[in-house]
Amino acid sequence: MNRELTVLRRFAIVCLILFLVTLGTATMIQAGEMEIPSLKEVYEPYFEIGAAVSAGVLNRYDELLQKHFSSLTAENSMKFSEVHRNPGRYTFHAADRIVEYAQSHNMLMRGHTLIWHSQVPAHVFLDDDLERVDREVLLERMQEHIQLMMDRYGDAVYAWDVVNEAISDEPGEYLRTNSRWYEIIGEDYVAQAFRMAHEADPEAKLFYNDYSAVQPAKRDKIIRLIKELQADGVPIHGVGLQGHWSLYDPSVETIRRALEMYAELGIEIHITELDLSVYAWNTRAPMMWEPSEEILKLQAKRYGEIFALFREFSDVITNVSFWGVADDHTWLDNFPVPNRKNWPLLFDEFLEPKPAFWSVVDF
Ligand code: GLA
């Protein structure tokens, strides 16, 4: 009798353990499988959702990229300095890798960027005697570069930032004069680049891209440039507003006014490099070790408001791309203040969705 009881007891204990293990596993599986909404699916009726990447982050971000993003931009790999660092020596492997990734996952690619005053090697502007080349030579080199990039990536890239940051920040100055392109070719280098790009790939959408593009002074100069190009019959299909913004600036009203004015130009708008710094621009405000709950809430509120505005303009905004994927890799950790950690994106350093993610998908 006693023995029977012991056996029964043991049996009951084993059953209980089995039951608890099964329950535990089921709960874990459920938690692991808990699906968060996909950004690109939520925004499918509105616009593409993109991210800037380097070839080196593709593995780490693979899951996030496939689930949430429908468009990619090469953070640096397509820039002049990356593909043609030394005369006659080309390196395409990083850009090729990103393009292959985009194509194999049915993602769009934005081409960034063909002609820019920055990240362009000195040899482009010099002859064999290290003297400055003249306008004709530089126009030829511009054409070669544009043709080369568009031939190589034209099948994958649907929209190109043909010219980046040609407008001056200086009051009273229109085009940026501290640009070798401007100095050697002259004012018409912008128009020349667009015409060459159109000739190289008549199907491609051609964009002008700039920062501070919603600030009234710069906005008005960008609009002037686009109107001049349009009046001269230069092929331009869109304007890229970089969107390196912060928790404090610019105001939603400033962004709204700029969107209204750009929309009147009859071209597409891409938000090309979106991130929301948790610091006011360039302040030496004490660095944070981690973002407080209050900061994360404020960021969520700002992102929510900004995306609500973007949705209102979804007839003209066709792509919203973030400058990065998650807070473990952002240029803002070193700019404008070196070694100052920042948390500007929708996913945190552990690639988990932040409050800002939820305010963008829940509306
Ligand atoms: C600008 C450029 C980008 C990139 C960012 C900072 O906005 O357009 O290519 O260099 O600055 O990372």
**Does any ligand 1 atom lie closer than 6 A to the CB of residue 273?**
yes
Q: How confident is the model at residue 56 (pLDDT cuts 50, 70, 90)?
A: very high
Q: Note if the pTM is more than 0.85.
A: yes
Which letter, b or e, does each residue of 150-181 get, where b requires 16 or more Cβ atoms within 10 Å of its Cβ?
bebbbebbbbbbbbbbbbbeeeeeebbeebbb
**Structure-block tokens of residue 264:** 């009147």
**Does any ligand 1 atom lie closer than 6 A to the CB of residue 242?**
yes
**Structure-block tokens of residue 81:** 């300095």
User: Does the pLDDT of residue 25 top 50, yes or no?
Assistant: no
Fill in the amino acid letter for 231: A
**Does any ligand 1 atom lie closer than 6 A to the CB of residue 275?**
no
Q: What is the C-alpha separation between 289 and 285, in angstroms, rounded?
A: 12
Q: What is the CA radius of gyration of the chain?
A: 25
Q: What is the pLDDT, as a whole number, of residue 5?
A: 52
Ligand 1 pocket mutation pick from 83, 179, 277, 323 by most atoms within 8 angstroms of CB: 323
Handedness of CA 244, 272, 225, 111 (dihedral sign): positive
273 included as an active-site residue: yes
Mean per-residue pLDDT over the chain, rounded: 93
Q: What is the C-alpha separation between 331 and 275, in angstroms, rounded?
A: 10
Side-chain-side CA neighbours of residue 4 (13 Å): 1
Q: What is the pLDDT, as a whole number, of residue 10?
A: 67
User: Does the pLDDT of residue 292 top 60, yes or no?
Assistant: yes
User: Does the pLDDT of residue 208 top 90, yes or no?
Assistant: yes
Q: What is the C-alpha separation between 166 and 183, in angstroms, rounded?
A: 12
**Structure-block tokens of residue 135:** 């306008």
pLDDT digits (tens, 9 = 90+) for 332-344: 999 999 999 999 9
pLDDT digits (tens, 9 = 90+) for 63-95: 999 999 999 999 999 999 999 999 999 999 999
Residue bearing the CA closest to ligand 1, atom 12: 331
User: Which position among 165, 264, 293, 305 bears the catalytic label?
Assistant: 165
Spatial neighbors of 222 by CB under 8 A, at least 6 apart, are 167, 208, 210, 213, 239
**Does any ligand 1 atom lie closer than 6 A to the CB of residue 322?**
no
DSSP label at 56? G
Q: How confident is the model at residue 325 (pLDDT cuts 50, 70, 90)?
A: very high
Q: What is the pLDDT, as a whole number, of residue 283?
A: 80
Side-chain-side CA neighbours of residue 327 (13 Å): 22
CB 346 within 8 A of CB 299: no
48 included as an active-site residue: no
- Residue recorded with tokens 């593995």: 59
Distance 16 CA to ligand 1 centre (A): 59
